[in-house]
A and B are shown apart, each in its own frame.
Chain A
Amino acid sequence: MSDNPMRKPAGAPLRERLVLPFTLVVLVVVWQISVSLFHLPSYLLPSPSDIGIEVAANWMILLQNTWVTTVEVLLGFAMSVALAIPIAVLVSYSKLFKQTVYPLIVGSQTIPKVALAPLMLVWFGFGLAPKVAIVVLVAFFPIVINAVVGFNGISPQMLYLASSMGATPWQSFWRFRLPNALPNLFAGLKVAAILAVIGAIVAEFVGADSGLGYLVLVSGTNFKIAEQFAAIILLSIMGTAFFWLASWTERKLLPWHVSVRSSEGR
């Protein structure tokens, strides 16, 4: 056994990190060449350069609408977390809650959330509120479910250990149960991050006067397909960014966890 702790330097080799950008570049080039080669009309499939020109011309409009959707997603996501975690704690600590509220939450998932979107409009009007409400409806559930699994996933022996140390219920939660649940919690948060973006688009489809979802809808009816593509690409960038943010936070908080270690190529 050597004296040095066996720790590998973090980060993948440069070559590995360039694989994805390179793939994307190839994809864009193939796209561009195919469009001009097969003379595809731009109202069916605009070339990347068409989309680029569109973005350059209307960057202010795109930016404004991106901002609107970002606010909806962030607010909705934050509210989902703020609601879901305390409910998960109650479900895992209180038998009454587990028998009453939890089955209702699980059962309510059979309702397609998209079908509730018009109702949210009726209840909350036309502004930011119905969009946030729909994001919460969509993002809340995976967080609750995974958090409950995480909180209940503590081994009896770990609880015995806490008890033998004379830990208070408060200490037992903060020192043992919560950190132990974090891997599950983050699994839920990552799913919710993707769903939150979808929720915001659905909300904007149903009734909005701004936002990227609204832009997709309006540019489609006006046959501004390049603008529509620009909006869709921005949406996918947004979804990726939220997911990446959740993953990044996970890596920072849980460097010890198996899922994080394996993604770093151990």
Chain B
Amino acid sequence: MQAAGSAPATSSGEKALTWFGREPEDAAIADADPPAADSFISIRNISKTFASRRDLVHALAPLDLDIAPGEFVSVIGPSGCGKSTLLMMLSGLTAATTGTVHVGGKRVQGPISDLGIVFQHDVLLEWRTALQNILLQAEIRRQDKTEALKQARHLLEMVGLSSFADCYPHELSGGMRQRVSICRALLHQPPLLLMDEPFGALDALSRDQLQVDLLRLWSDLKMTVFFITHSISEAVFLSDRVVVMSPRPGRVEAVIPIDLPRPRRLAVRETPAFVHYNHTVTEMFKSLGVLREDPA
């Protein structure tokens, strides 16, 4: 595995499916230019190196990425490729070893709070009801209570949990809990939603439902979503663009624009175009050695 090296160019403007041209000359285009004017998130030359007991671990090779305002971008890659690290650096919760991140034109140099985060584990506070968990966001931010209550009820209704507002987390199913945690992340109507494998622990049916709910919220609130997942079909179903990452040290292998009509319904997963996108990503992971199978 080569350690670092220039990442493939991934500026948001390009429409071509870059994975067709993974030749070295394409990879050399990467440039450390200032943040693009029209991008909401601008990641330049960012990398992360951990010091382990023995030596240095390169979790993330230098990479560039631009995300437009209101865009839904998924990052997909094998475990340990640095996806979560990338999310942590975006939110300023972890410092980058090299490179810069700009969110909304401002450089990230510490935890930023103008966002919502959803983790794989819902991290609901067990001592608060669903509604109180959502309102926590407004309490910490000292926002207007009546306005927050209205918004919280609206969000609960959008994810079909109106009648569960006064239930404690232990009275809710895993899927319901995660929906509450998404509502909490969106209460203050942040311009950015970061999601770290939010549906990874759910059963397949809940997962489908949550994907539909998330798309509904996204089209209503129009925030930018940065979504990390292990599921190829989930990434394709949800996203405007899918960022495919290589095994550690994570590099951007390709950025695939998903040209499927919106609003998307579950049935879109049966269309030839969807199947083709799935196939493309699967083949990429096979060529990366992430997926292996016996020769046919």
B117: which of A155, A160, A171, A254 is its contact (CB, 8 Å)? A160
**Contact of B171 with A7 in the complex, beta carbons under 8 Å:** yes
A169 nearest CB across to chain B (Å): 12
Could you tell me which residues of chain A, from 21 to 55, have a CB within 8 Å of some CB in chain B? none
**Contact of B163 with A176 in the complex, beta carbons under 8 Å:** no
Q: Is A18 an interface residue (CB 8 A)?
A: no
Whole-angstrom CA separation of A3 from B164 in the bound complex = 8
B residues in contact with A182, CB < 8 Å: 127
Q: Is B123 an interface residue (CB 8 A)?
A: yes
B141: which of A3, A7, A165, A255 is its contact (CB, 8 Å)? A165
B112 nearest CB across to chain A (Å): 8
Could you tell me which residues of chain A, from 208 to 246, have a CB within 8 Å of some CB in chain B? none
B95 nearest CB across to chain A (Å): 13
* Contact A179/B121 with A164-B93, A164-B116 known, Cβ cut-off 8 Å: no
A residues in contact with B116, CB < 8 Å: 164
Q: Which of the 9-residue segments B63-71, B132-140, B151-159, B282-290 touches chain A?
A: B132-140
B residues in contact with A158, CB < 8 Å: 123
B residues in contact with A258, CB < 8 Å: 170
* Contact A164/B171 with A5-B166, A155-B123 known, Cβ cut-off 8 Å: no
CB-nearest residue of chain B relative to A266?
B170
CB-nearest residue of chain B relative to A164?
B117
Whole-angstrom CA separation of A3 from B141 in the bound complex = 32
B residues in contact with A179, CB < 8 Å: 125, 127
In the complex, the number of residue pairs spanning A and B with C-beta atoms less than 8 Å apart equals 68
Secondary structure at the B interface, as helix, strand, loop or mixed, is: loop
- By size class, the interface of chain B is 20 to 34
B191 nearest CB across to chain A (Å): 13
**Contact of A157 with B119 in the complex, beta carbons under 8 Å:** yes
Q: Is B80 an interface residue (CB 8 A)?
A: no
Q: Is B273 an interface residue (CB 8 A)?
A: no
Whole-angstrom CA separation of A218 from B112 in the bound complex = 68
* Contact A165/B137 with A157-B123, A160-B93, A257-B126 known, Cβ cut-off 8 Å: yes
**Contact of B115 with A164 in the complex, beta carbons under 8 Å:** yes
A residues in contact with B91, CB < 8 Å: 160, 164
A58 nearest CB across to chain B (Å): 47
CB-nearest residue of chain B relative to A161?
B123
A43 nearest CB across to chain B (Å): 54
What residues of chain A have their CB less than 8 Å away from a CB belonging to chain B?
A: 3-7, 155, 157-158, 160-167, 171, 175-176, 179-180, 182, 254-258, 261
What residues of chain B have their CB less than 8 Å away from a CB belonging to chain A?
A: 88, 91, 93, 111-113, 115-117, 119, 121, 123, 125-127, 136-137, 139-141, 163-164, 166-171
List 10 A-B pairs, Cβ < 8 Å: A6-B171, A164-B117, A165-B113, A165-B137, A165-B140, A166-B111, A256-B126, A256-B169, A256-B170, A257-B126
